[in-house]
Chains A and B, each alone.
Chain A
Amino acid sequence: MAGSTYTPIATYTVPSAQANYTFTSIPATYTDLVLISNIATSASTGVSVQFNGDTASNYQFMYTFGDGTTPQFGNVTSTSQADVIYSNTTISTQITNFMSYSNTSVRKTYVSRFNPTTQFTGFYSGEWASTAAISSIKLFTGSGTISTGSTFTLYGIAAA
């Protein structure tokens, strides 16, 4: 066995409203990353990621959610960012799994559960069409800002 893992790498608490935050210098010593977001935003919005500063159209993602009416599905291809969180003005906790982020043999994939309180619940899945190890993750809103007091904690999980 490799022993205990699920190790906190960094935590960021938003000191004042801001549109983005970037985890940098992510060590390549883990297998997966887990991002726990306790977040509210000034508007109802998706929160996207870009890896390693890549702003080209190398991302694609899907989402589905339910709000008590007809379930919804979306499919976004060849875009410059991938959504991993959906937030609104009420605080909510959401979890994103970035799989094999340091494995340079495979493209990077993720699955994420989102549940903006008072709106709906659903999940995202997506891909960054790159085999590069992820060393930075930029989080940014589609509209509005991330509210003061929101926290992001990034964990590393090491496989045996």
Chain B
Amino acid sequence: MSRLGIYASQNYPRVTNSYESIQTVTLSSNQPSITFSSIPSTFKHLQIRAVSAGDTNTNVRLRFNGDTASNYATHGIQAGAGYGTSVYTNSSTSASSIMLFDQQLGNSTNFNATVTDVLDYTSTSKNKTIRTLNGVKGGTGGFMYFQSGLWFKTPEAVTSITIYPFTGNFYTYTTFALYGIKG
């Protein structure tokens, strides 16, 4: 680091104690899903940060509190090499999960990078919304997703989150980390 960089770094902002690690799941073998359970209600928002890959060309989905009914909606923009059209949109308004991203190019080498925000997850008066930024790059292809999701079951606090590939497994080394953000 240059001298100027050192000087500047001495004035960097201090930790605000508003962002905390809650739980991390790192797979030591291929698994069909990961679940964060017993999520504490002491934060305002949640963030999920992940690197993941799978053994099947499929999309990766999310559910709250084990709800498998048609209480989810997804809208998004996706782009990628390999699609007939490079950029297009996707939507579903009455699905049994939120679609986060596609791991079609996911394999044991090229991992998806994903950051998902779950907003106001403890509210018992508002439906839950999420947003996801994702990308995977491998060889000459790749995909990118910018998604929003809605869980419109009668509002309840989110206490568990399950993430799974629609078919197949997540590969070893896949990691999902859950963080809490205070408000």
Contact = CB atoms under 8 A, between A and B. Distances in A.
B21 A109 contact: no
B138 A106 contact: no
A125 B13 CA distance: 27
A19 interface: no
B5 interface: yes
A7 B55 CA distance: 34
A10 B137 contact: no
Interface string A76-111: 010000000000000000000101100101110111
- Residue from B135, B140, B146, B175 whose CB has the most chain A CB atoms within 10 Å: B135
A111 B21 contact: no
Interface stretch (B58-66, B75-83, B121-129, B161-169): B75-83
A73 interface: yes
Given A12-B8, A23-B1, A73-B86, A109 B113 contact: yes
Interface stretch (B92-100, B104-112, B150-158): B104-112
A4 B144 contact: no
Given A12-B4, A109-B135, A127 B110 contact: yes
Contacts of A53: none
Contacts, number: 167
A62 interface: yes
B142 interface: yes
Nearest to B141: A75
Contact of A159 (B14, B17, B177): B177
Interface residues of A, number: 51
A126 interface: yes
B135 A60 contact: no
B29 interface: no
Contacts of B68: none
B49 A11 contact: no
B137 A127 contact: yes
B20 A3 contact: yes
B87 A61 contact: no
Given A31-B177, A113-B133, A127-B138, A153 B12 contact: yes
Interface string A1-35: 11111111111110100000111110000011000
A62 B179 contact: no
B111 A5 contact: no
A5 B140 contact: no
Contacts of B50: 99
Interface of A: 1-13, 15, 21-25, 31-32, 60-62, 64, 71-73, 75, 77, 97, 99-100, 103, 105-107, 109-111, 113, 123-127, 153, 157-160
19 contacts: A1-B23, A5-B179, A9-B9, A10-B8, A10-B12, A11-B11, A11-B13, A62-B79, A62-B80, A75-B80, A99-B113, A109-B113, A123-B133, A125-B113, A157-B179, A158-B21, A159-B49, A160-B23, A160-B24
